Structure 1
């Protein structure tokens, strides 16, 4: 079974290791290729996906910065909220390209494992692109008390707000002048930007703003302990690492590719969280 990953700056991903490991455990001969490339627009991504389907790939994962573009390419979406607007997993079928978003479902699984029985509360979400949209809808499904959205791209955050409110979620935008006060008053902090990734190092939230919140999540998992999570740990917050999202979204993706139910502990043995 031929699988792959389409994105930028993906050479340190463990997706190939996870999917080939799961193939071995469940009796499938799986190959997983990395397509680390710059695609100028949605038609370029569509052309690549159609070409991979013609070359016999069963499916591919789609990561930054192509998740939103993938939404309009597929012919069918499954197991994904109608307003989410981003996809990270596609399969090639006779009738076309079918997509889903396992970031959304994977975040829900990761949160419930880390914070069993606890509502996410008031959450500050930084970054409203592809992964931010998935996490926002995942938090809405967890019945978060309120989502505070912030992104330097005004159109992106406004669109996510409209889509969340259309689905009945409680959310609002945060003006730049109000960011610090809002962060201090929240229960959870989410970094859904690339800041902290090995290719874009930095601190997603200023250290002096941390403390008093209950939990922190960083979508970045290369490295796993980003500067943000290191500072959050020092401030006493409970951590959900990007590795946990990676693991659970990968399990959901493998199940989408194959129809095989995966034991999470089997998956965890195949990849490293250090």
Structure 2
């Protein structure tokens, strides 16, 4: 798989001022897709208020379009530079009429003062020839190619760029589809190399796996990215909102030397890690960006993004065990657990180091819930000592909690949907095993501790629970690693049964402290973390 590793720039200084002026020249364009001209005018005002640099006026979305009259209004009334697009159905748009009328409208937009027009590669040669000698000085023609099936090889993309440049394009635009997140590396390769050309390039990859192309284009030299006014109203699959681009990912502060971090998972869009880490990076002036990474094959991902610019990752379901095998070195505790949730890439040689911060965050939160000491370095006996600690799930998080509780002197029982996996972990760690179906009738003693480490009950399946309510009366404390929603059905029913409950949010914050410090080498802003997660910041 192609990798941009040879073309990315390593960072020297990692700190930037919190309120630095924009570091990237990449523009943010808001697509305007209303069905009426009046609504488009309103939306253009909203785009400016949200922080867009320009607007893309999608003429093909208008229900009623009077070419001369409406173009004059739209171009004159726009408070921002305008990009006029009249996308035909054969290139993924809405227009299904006469081709001459469509191209005449684009020519008229140029004459009426539009700043850019977008014309498709298929008709670009003839169109650009038709306006030869008539182009205003600052007017730019974007020639675009959309591939809704795949992302071609670097060689094929390079040939496509050359074909687009040969039309006389002022700006190249290539939009492809992501079958895998590693496809985006090929687009980065193209946009980085476009920096040596006189023709700027827009390179974007559609779909959730392509999201990083829309954020990291600011690092890899893309001319512009698209940000929607509202979530769900997109002109292409996978577009983030203006709000997220600017305030979640701190887009204006991303530059060529910005370090990239992210959460590797499947699914991953629910993760709050980007909110947490990006706010923390900004608060301490750290030159990094943290993104969602929808990864199917973690080994393939790490091979493709092997530059030291991809400096560290959080790892979540279902990759925690596979990630361990991808590391050059693994922390002894993580090795004993058999799973990691944090990878650091050493800047000097690119080697990968794996850690497990899950068990620290979870066990501390559970000990706090039991109102005991959680200082493992002291002589104080842990409140977990001697207690029966029942873990639901035998995956990476289950192993972490079982190992951490065992270290604190707890007796362990593993419950899993597949009994053989429960038995395997129980034998490794020294404990009992049972199937998930047996858990409802498991009552060897009162005052037990229950820890759910599976995704049961996570959004959107919030009505699910791993254990029936009647069985919860045997537990003095119930912990749920799920934190979306914060109060799962399991925790609600456990509270009603009289147990102390500990939300996965506590584990999440605890493990994030340590990850942040490993990512940055700086103390975690703990108060900020908690404010972000409780919604007060």
* TM score, norm. by length of structure 2: 0.46
Pairing 1:135-154 to 2, within 5 Å after superposition: 135-144=401-410, 146-154=411-419
Name stretches of at least 5 consecutive residues in structure 2 with no aligned partner: 1-258, 373-382
The one of 294, 298, 301 equivalent to 1:45 is 298
**Relative contact order (alpha carbons < 8 A, sep ≥ 6): 1 or 2 greater?**
1
- Do the aligned partners of residues 204 and 135 (structure 1) sit closer, same or farther apart at CA in structure 2, a change above 3 Å counting? same
RMSD between aligned residues: 2.1
Cα distance in 2 for partners of 1:157, 1:192 equals 13
**1:172-214, CA deviations, whole angstroms, 9 ceiling, x for partnerless residues?**
1125675333257351111111110013430121011122421
Query: Counterpart of 1:164?
Result: 429
Query: Counterpart of 1:122?
Result: 388
Does the 8 A contact of 2:389 with 2:451 survive in 1? Answer: yes
Pairing 1:2-21 to 2, within 5 Å after superposition: 2-21=260-279
2:70 matches 1:70: no
Deviation of 1:147 after TM superposition, in Å, equals 1.0
2:106 matches 1:106: no
Name stretches of at least 5 consecutive residues in structure 1 with no aligned partner: 166-170
2:455 matches 1:190: no
Cα distance in 2 for partners of 1:238, 1:183 equals 18
Deviation of 1:140 after TM superposition, in Å, equals 1.3
Deviation of 1:49 after TM superposition, in Å, equals 1.5
Does the 8 A contact of 1:9 with 1:199 survive in 2? Answer: no
Cα distance in 2 for partners of 1:89, 1:81 equals 10
Query: Counterpart of 2:168?
Result: none
The one of 230, 234, 237 equivalent to 2:499 is 237
Deviation of 1:235 after TM superposition, in Å, equals 1.0
Paired residue total: 263
Cα distance in 2 for partners of 1:47, 1:81 equals 22
- Do the aligned partners of residues 10 and 176 (structure 1) sit closer, same or farther apart at CA in structure 2, a change above 3 Å counting? closer
Cα distance in 1 for partners of 2:388, 2:497 equals 18
Cα distance in 2 for partners of 1:46, 1:151 equals 26
Structure whose CA Rg is larger: 2
Partner SS state of residue 210, structure 1: helix
Partner SS state of residue 314, structure 2: strand
Cα distance in 1 for partners of 2:282, 2:368 equals 26
More displaced stretch, 156-165 vs 172-181: 172-181
Does the 8 A contact of 2:440 with 2:467 survive in 1? Answer: no
Query: Counterpart of 1:216?
Result: 478
Partner SS state of residue 501, structure 2: strand
Query: Counterpart of 1:199?
Result: 460
Does the 8 A contact of 2:327 with 2:352 survive in 1? Answer: yes
2:524 matches 1:269: no
Does the 8 A contact of 1:79 with 1:101 survive in 2? Answer: no
Partner SS state of residue 64, structure 1: coil
2:511 matches 1:249: yes
More displaced stretch, 212-221 vs 257-266: 257-266
**1:208-265, CA deviations, whole angstroms, 9 ceiling, x for partnerless residues?**
1122421000011111111000001111111110000111111111112122222532
Cα distance in 2 for partners of 1:139, 1:115 equals 13
Deviation of 1:79 after TM superposition, in Å, equals 5.7
Query: Counterpart of 1:180?
Result: 440
